[in-house]
């Protein structure tokens, strides 16, 4: 790296102005970016009190030479660019020399740094923009920046912050986005003294699969190809897996996480018509383009970028997405064989695609909620692949997703029980003591009433332990896993709906029969009867269909009987 210098006025004037540090997560982001710009192989982030009490970021990067340390806190002082031309082709995360002074203006900052070839480290303390101490210090190579009492002198800023749980979630999201941007670097996140996340250096696909919650890389469809000025690479969740919000969408330009609405709309256009209404796709897309073709200096917090040719970039990304989805054998198999619910049951009136039609068709309209719709009488035939129930109906073969169907059954039962004052509990023979994180503890403490309504009997037992005495009846699976899932659902404000609704959905989902569960004839018959008794037997609450049909007409057409 070059020496740290204050940018000339003419360069500084071109830097997009605006507030850099608006919440703890912005400080975390700036500090991680500095570590990555310093070539760190490993970055550790520790936060306390949702980042307001303390943020500490430690790296093993190249450090800052002792004599340059005070300059790092001057406004527009940076080692990363020098001229206006540099501003036109930025290759580092930072470039404006604003982060450290902005943080030091609203907090107390202690920076300890040792350049790789230096005999000892240097430590500087800055509070409210004033240097309080500076001198040699014992520390290994690399840099640690500790920020305490963030916003202590700006009460107005403090008022705009969200709840501690939410601010903590935003910090975790920043760490995850940076971890996805740099799979080659190992990251650790500590929250109030406990490890909350650890991502050892990994391949891109491993990191992406981990952070998208995809389970395994095979569940993702690869995207690859040329875009204006460079290449795109990415992984897309299949259109059957969606979210009610855009929280599962990750976009990167030259390894910088961005919230580009252009790119987001392009990817969503690629998914168009493959998604149920009101659901959003899950993906991670990385563009590597010539830095001269992208302007990262348009947003004060560097969240968005502008491309030299926005129209062509949009078209290229939409096209690559479409290709990845429709060209994939996995999706083709789904669209080849998926048969719609017949028109008599509210399905699309137009002639359904035959089994060998390859173009993607629109699943959404056919499964619209309609409380008046009822299942026809179904005669159980058996189970297929331990996942689907086969049944004969008045006009052909029906395939029912056993998990989706059971989720629907349980969900409606929980709703009914809620209306009648609460869900029945099932006591545990031995109360279960569960270690939880401080964030989980806070979530539970704030929603004990909701948990009780759903049939959980939970007590706070010390500062880190919960005592679980009962779970919703009928309980299924491990009680501790169910409670963790329930807590995660309450805390996941991004998932939409209110906390009680999220809790109900999570409980139904967790306790439902799973794909892979073998069911005997009685269980199959019982599930069909239960499904028939629901208000809305055709969809699970994730928007997926519970049931598809192969009609007599389909069969006749496939066997060329007509
Ligand atoms: P910018 O990143 O835009 O240059 P900052 O205010 O974030 O501005 O940092 C100022 C300078 O301090 C950087 O240019 C860099 O030289 C130095 N610096 C900050 N953090 C680190 C770090 N973790 N390791 C090495 N150098 C750092
Ligand atoms: Mg920086």
Tell me the backbone φ, ψ of residue 435, rounded to 5 degrees.
-75, 130
> What pLDDT, on the 0 to 100 scale, is given for residue 475?
66
**pLDDT tens, position by position, 416-430:** 898 888 888 888 888
Place of tokens 């499964």: 367
Cβ(334)–Cβ(361) below 8 Å: no
Query: How confident is the model at residue 275, as a pLDDT?
Result: 80
Tokens of 281: 């796709």
| Predicted confidence band of residue 210 (pLDDT cuts 50, 70, 90) | confident
By the CB criterion, residues less than 5 angstroms from ion ligand 2 are 34, 94, 99
Band (pLDDT 50/70/90 cuts) for residue 361 is very low
Q: Within 10 Å of residue 440's Cβ, how many Cβ atoms?
A: 20
Whether ligand 1 lies within 6 angstroms of the CB of 29 is answered as: no
How many whole angstroms from 53 Cα to the centroid of ligand 1? Answer: 22
Q: Ligand 1: distance of its center to the CA of 80 in Å?
A: 8
Write the CA distances from 238 to 243, 281, 338, integer angstroms. 12, 8, 15
Q: How far is the CA of 58 from the centre of ligand 2 (A)?
A: 14
Task: Determine the residue of 37, 99, 296 to mutate for testing ligand 1's pocket, defined as the one with the most ligand atoms within 8 A of the Cβ atom.
Answer: 37
Q: Torsion angle of alpha carbons 145, 151, 153, 154, nearest 10°?
A: 140
Asked if the model's pLDDT at residue 187 lies above 60, the reply is: yes
List the single range of 106-120, 444-458, 493-507, 538-552 with lowest mean pLDDT: 538-552
Q: Is 95 in the pocket of ligand 1 (CB under 6 A)?
A: yes
Bridge pairing between strands 379-384 and 306-307: unpaired
20 CA to middle of ligand 1, Å? 14
Share of the chain above pLDDT 70, in %: 88
Over residues 268-317, the pLDDT tens digits come to 999 887 787 788 899 999 999 999 999 998 888 888 899 999 999 999 99
Atom of ligand 1 nearest to the CA of 63: 25
Cα separation of 201 and 179, whole Å?
9
Cβ contacts of 351 within 8 Å, gap of 6 or more: none
Measured in residues, the chain has a length of 562
Rounded Cα gap, residues 255 and 39, in angstroms: 14
Please name the residues in contact with 288: beta carbons below 8 A apart, sequence gap of 6 or more: 230, 231, 232, 233, 254, 255
What number is the average pLDDT over the span 143-151?
97
Average pLDDT, the chain: 85
pLDDT value at residue 529: 92
Residue 27 Cα to ligand 2 midpoint, Å, equals: 10
CA 109, 110, 111: angle at the middle one, nearest 5? Answer: 115
> According to the model, what pLDDT value does residue 124 have?
98
Closest ligand 1 atom to Cα of 96: 3
- Give the least confident one: 261-270, 355-364, 450-459, 474-483: 355-364
Ligand 2 centroid to Cα of residue 38, in Å, is 10
The pLDDT assigned to 344 comes to 45
- Residue that is written with structure tokens 């037992």 in the block: 461
From ligand 1's centre to the CA of 34, what distance in Å? 5
Supply 291's token pair. 């830095």
- Which segments of 186-323 are extended strands (E)? 186-191, 194-199, 220-227, 230-237, 249-253, 256-258, 283-289, 294-295, 306-307
Sign, Cα dihedral of 450, 455, 461, 463: negative
The finding on whether 143 has its CB within 6 A of some atom of ligand 1 is yes
CA distances from 390 to 34, 96, 372, 523 (A): 57, 63, 24, 13
CA distance 128 to 109: 9
What's the rounded mean pLDDT across residues 2-25?
Answer: 88
Q: Cα separation of 185 and 58, whole Å?
A: 13
Q: Verify whether ligand 1 is closer than 6 Å to residue 34 (CB atom).
A: yes
Ligand of minimum distance to the alpha carbon of 59:
1
Q: Round to whole Å and give the CA distance between 476 and 510.
A: 8
Nearest atom, ligand 1, residue 30 CA = 7
């Amino acid at each position: 790296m070059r020496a740290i210098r204050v940018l000339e006025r003419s360069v500084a004037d071109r830097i997009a102005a605006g507030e850099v540090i608006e919440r703890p997560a912005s400080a975390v982001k700036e500090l991680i970016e500095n570590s990555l710009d310093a070539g760190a192989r490993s970055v550790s982030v520790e936060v306390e009190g949702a980042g307001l009490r303390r943020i500490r970021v430690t790296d093993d990067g190249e450090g800052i030479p002792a004599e340059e340390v005070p300059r790092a806190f001057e406004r527009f002082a940076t080692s990363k660019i020098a001229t206006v031309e540099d501003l036109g082709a930025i290759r580092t995360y930072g470039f404006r020399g604003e982060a450290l002074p902005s943080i030091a203006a609203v907090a107390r900052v202690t920076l300890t740094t040792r350049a790789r070839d230096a005999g000892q480290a240097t430590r500087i303390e800055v509070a409210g923009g004033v240097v309080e101490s500076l001198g040699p210090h014992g520390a290994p190579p690399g840099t640690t920046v500790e920020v305490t009492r963030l916003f202590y002198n700006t009460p107005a800023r403090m008022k705009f912050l969200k709840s501690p749980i939410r601010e903590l979630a935003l910090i975790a999201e920043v760490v995850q986005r940076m971890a996805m941007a740099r799979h080659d670097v190992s990251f650790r996140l500590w929250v109030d003294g406990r490890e909350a996340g650890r991502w050892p250096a990994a391949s891109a696909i491993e990191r992406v699969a981990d952070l998208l919650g995809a389970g395994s890389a095979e569940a993702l469809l690869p995207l690859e190809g040329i875009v204006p000025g460079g290449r795109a690479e990415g992984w897309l969740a299949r259109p059957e897996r969606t979210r009610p919000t855009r929280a599962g969408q990750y976009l990167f330009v030259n390894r910088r996480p961005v919230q580009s609405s252009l790119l987001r709309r392009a990817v969503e256009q690629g998914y168009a018509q493959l998604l149920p209404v009101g659901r959003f796709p899950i993906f991670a897309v990385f563009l590597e383009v010539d830095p001269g073709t992208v302007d990262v200096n348009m947003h004060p917090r560097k969240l968005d970028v502008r491309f030299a040719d926005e129209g062509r970039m949009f078209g290229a990304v939409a096209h690559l997405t479409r290709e990845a989805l429709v060209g994939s054998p996995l999706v083709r198999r789904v669209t080849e064989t998926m048969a719609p619910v017949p028109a008599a049951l509210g399905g699309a009136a137009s002639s359904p695609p035959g089994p060998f039609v390859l173009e993607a068709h629109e699943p959404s309209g056919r499964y619209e909620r309609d409380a008046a719709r009822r299942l026809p009488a179904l005669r159980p035939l058996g189970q297929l692949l331990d996942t689907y129930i086969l049944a004969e109906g008045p006009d052909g073969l029906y395939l029912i997703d056993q998990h989706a169907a059971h989720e629907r059954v349980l969900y409606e039962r929980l709703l009914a029980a809620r209306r009648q004052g609460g869900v029945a509990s099932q006591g545990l023979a031995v109360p279960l003591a569960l270690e939880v994180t401080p964030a989980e503890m806070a979530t539970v403490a704030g929603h004990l009433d909701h948990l009780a309504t759903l049939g959980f009997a939970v007590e706070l037992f010390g500062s880190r332990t919960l005592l679980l005495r009962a779970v919703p009846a009928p309980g299924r699976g491990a009680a501790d896993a169910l409670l963790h899932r329930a807590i995660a659902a309450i805390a996941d404000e991004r998932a939409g709906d209110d906390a009680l609704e999220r809790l109900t959905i999570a409980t139904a989902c967790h306790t439902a029969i799973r794909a892979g569960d073998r069911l005997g004839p009685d269980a199959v018959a019982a599930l069909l009867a239960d499904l028939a008794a629901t208000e809305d037997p055709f969809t699970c609450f994730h928007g997926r269909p519970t049931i598809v049909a192969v009609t007599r007409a389909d069969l006749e057409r496939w066997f060329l009987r007509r």
